[in-house]
Amino acid sequence: MKIGHVEIKVRQYADGRWGFDNYSRGARHKVRLLTKQKADARAADVAILLANGRGDLLSIDARELAEFRQWRELKWRAPSLNELVKEFLKSKREDRNLHSGYVKTLEYNLSPFCDAIGNENLAQIESVTLFEILSGLNKNPRTRNNVRDALCSAFRFARDRGYLPEGITAAEKVKRIKLDRCCEISIYSPEQMRAILDACRPQYIPGEVISAFAGIRSEEIRPKPNTHKDPLRWEDFNWDEAYINVRDETAKTGIARHAAFLPVLKAWLQPWRNASGAVMPHDPLWERKRIAEKTGVPRLHNARRHSFGTYRMATIQTFISSLRKWETRFIFADRATFGRVLGAWPSSVQSDAKRIDAAQRR
């Protein structure tokens, strides 16, 4: 094989392999491959580099050369960052299970990168550049992580579309900031919640108590008009079995679930037991502002849902603690019931518990 002034002879050796000897770096370098086709391809690579005066690239091994070729191919095929973000957001808008607010947040979080390096080829963007832009936003740690996660979602989308090679993307190489999990979340005290409900007008009561005593999201109780989500309806309340069916077309995540329908919530909702249709047909924004001005109780983000989760967890932990103390005071036959509740007994004790339980049922 001859390219320019460089000639390389490929031949078959005694062991059956094909190859050639390369003296371009001084010492003899044996190139041996299983087929003549592969040997010819390697010889062509070497000859082209030598003919173009790039013998320094011969130190790159075959794996690195293959990675370079893949990168070069993706470079020509990959879109700019602006084009990727448009395609990414379009796919999110077409997903009817996603909240429009989530898509708008994605667009907002990605906009600084589009403004800074939007015209650059996606395959050429490095993690250092992304880190510098992210650091320059001067966001608090939680918001910074949210922006970083939005960027990672876009780059993973590009990888799935074949615009980027397999493996960790440049965005994923940017590390998340460790958050201080000891910070307090916003909750209302029982006295504050009582003041809110006392000041609330009747037509807004269902939304307030469902959020505070069932932990259902405000955007699930009453989605924004420009979303495709169906609001929570009175038909979703199962009074007999005490649960609220949050349908997949209502749930923020698009995954249906059952929420607890506690006695306190049933008591508040008794006037609406035979109601039908949407639970909250009116926007509660101005009502909540009016209540805050009247009662002096501040408007806190997600405080109703957070309050439910906090007090509910405290109740459950207290119950489990009391149950364990109660268990130690009774005879072994009663432990069978306790074992069925917690499922925490060793296998030997479980077998005895099942035997005693079966005897009790006769």
Which pLDDT belongs to residue 329? 47
Which pLDDT belongs to residue 325? 59
Which pLDDT belongs to residue 20? 84
What HEC string does the chain produce?
CEECCEECCCEECCCCCEEEEECCCCCCEEEEECCHHHHHHHHHHHHHHHHCCCHHHHHCCHHHHHHHHHHHHHHHHCCEHHHHHHHHHHHHHHCCCCCHHHHHHHHHHHHHHHHHHCCCEHHHCCHHHHHHHHHCCCCCHHHHHHHHHHHHHHHHHHHHCCCCCCCCCCCCCCCCCCCCCCCCCCCCCHHHHHHHHHHCCHHHHHHHHHHHHHCCCHHHHCCCCCCCCCCCEHHHEECCCCEEEECCCCCCCCCCEEEECCHHHHHHHHHHCCCCCECCCCCCHHHHHHHHHHHCCCCCCCHHHHHHHHHHHHHHHHHHHHHHHHHCCCCHHHHHHHHHHHCCCCHHHHHHHHHHHHHHHC
Which pLDDT belongs to residue 331? 40
The pTM is what? 0.50
pLDDT per residue of the chain (362 residues) written in tens, 0 to 9 = 676 777 788 889 988 999 888 777 677 878 888 898 888 888 887 777 777 666 655 666 667 666 666 656 666 677 899 999 999 999 998 887 777 778 888 999 999 999 999 999 888 899 999 999 999 998 888 889 999 999 999 999 999 988 888 889 999 999 998 876 555 678 899 999 999 999 999 999 999 999 999 999 998 999 877 667 889 999 999 999 999 999 988 988 778 899 989 999 999 999 999 999 999 988 888 999 999 999 999 998 888 998 888 888 888 777 677 656 555 544 444 444 445 444 444 454 445 445 544 554 44
Which pLDDT belongs to residue 1? 63
